[in-house]
Structure formats: C-alpha cells, structure tokens
Amino acid sequence: MASVNEREVSFGGKAGALRAHVAEPSGGGVHPAVIVVQEWWGLDGHIKDIARRFATEGYFAVAPDLYSRQGNKVTNDPNVAGELMSGLAMADGIDDLLSTIGWIKAQKAANPAKIGVIGFCMGGSYATLLPCVSRDIKAAAPFYGEIPPDEKLRELNCPIFYAYGENDGWIRRADVDRLAAALKRFGKKGEVKVYAGCSHGFFNDTRKDVYNADAARDAWTRTLKLFEENLKR
C-alpha cells in the first residue's frame, strides 16, 4: 500500500471555480486517475476517504465538489441533501466532470489516457452517464445510481461494474435489469451485481443504518479488479 498525499485544489469550470479533494501516492511518478463522485450529501469525509483508499492502491484520485455552484455545501440532513441535489442540473454536473477530466489531463502525476470513474447514489448516476458522453473514461463503477436511457447506454465506451442493493428504495430494479439487458444487446463489457438483502447506500461505512460490510468488501474487490484490468495495463 502506497503512502498518500492529500490536498484541496481549485480549477476552472464553466460556471466558475470548482473545488476538489485530491489524494495521490506520495512517491512521485505517473499514475492512472480515478474520479470519485459524491453522494447527495456533498463532498464529505466519506468521499474523501474513498479517494484516499484509491491513492493507497496507486491511483491519482480526484473527488470534485459538484456543489461548487451552490457554495460547496455539505450536509447530513436528507431534506437539505435533496434540495442540493435538485439544485444541480444533470447537464451542469456533467460539465463539471468534463472540466475535472480536463484538469486531470494537465497534471504531471496523472496518466491522461487512463482515467476511471466511481460514484455513489447521486454520484452513481453521473458515473453511469459520464462514460456515455466522454471517451476519456476507460472504466466505470457506478453504485446504485440512476440508469440513463438506452440511447445513451448505446454510447457507453468502457467496461462497467454496476453495484445495486436488492432492497434499494430509490433506484428501480426494472431499470437495473434494463442496464444488464442493454449491455448484452449493445455488446458492451460489464457486470451488474445485485447484492441480496442490501439497501441503498450499503457501501457507506459512516451510515450504520444501511452499511453492509460483506457486500461493500465484495463490491470494492470487483471495482479494484475492473480498474486494474483497464487502467493499469
């Protein structure tokens, strides 16, 4: 496991400055990059911890604050989180992620040809859509996010691992099954994994009401395998 350097950065986006948390191996060199996309809570400690985990695995990890347009808000109140998420248009979030890709490409420590994305909840929706609109993404691991329409999935340009909890009350199982069917129909590489007995947010170890350690461990292992195969080789 690599030792890690962490820092806060700011770079230009379409609507102004974008803040982000960066975690990278401390030994120097050039590394594959991973964009970590937040849940609806904002760029909180959990998301920064996930970036840190990727850095220990040898990745240049960037967690952009998709609430930069709304004053970099962070909350643990679901009502406030819902308002923040509703205040972010999907097109604006994608624009900010495209700006993040552009910033990564300018970093000497990041390999511009090897960029992956992972996201959770709201971030899972972005992590599914981003590789449908950007050819720069080489691997995607969305966790319990909304599924784009089939005309978007047809444009998916990289392997994907999609994680879903059987008892998810937010994302419809029919849409998850549609994703699995679309991967086969369009000849896309990918895996859709449904975790028995798990709820929405099961990967978040700061939320004891939904966290499932066994499922989280398995999903993390599958994510690392996907990224290893597509970003490190």
CB 110, CB 26: distance < 8 Å: no
How many other C-beta atoms lie within 10 A of the C-beta of residue 77?
Answer: 10
* Domain definitions of the chain by residue range: 4-231
Mean pLDDT of 31-56: 98
Q: What is the mean pLDDT of the chain?
A: 98
- Report if pTM > 0.85: yes
Nearest to 164 by CA among 207, 117, 124: 124
**pLDDT digits over 66-102, tens only?**
999 999 999 999 999 999 999 999 999 999 999 999 9
Has domain 4-231 been given CATH number 3.90.1150.10?
no
Task: Give the percent of the chain with pLDDT over 90.
Answer: 98
pLDDT in tens, 126-141: 999 999 999 999 999 9
The confidence score (pLDDT) of residue 1 equals: 74
CA distance 63 to 49: 10
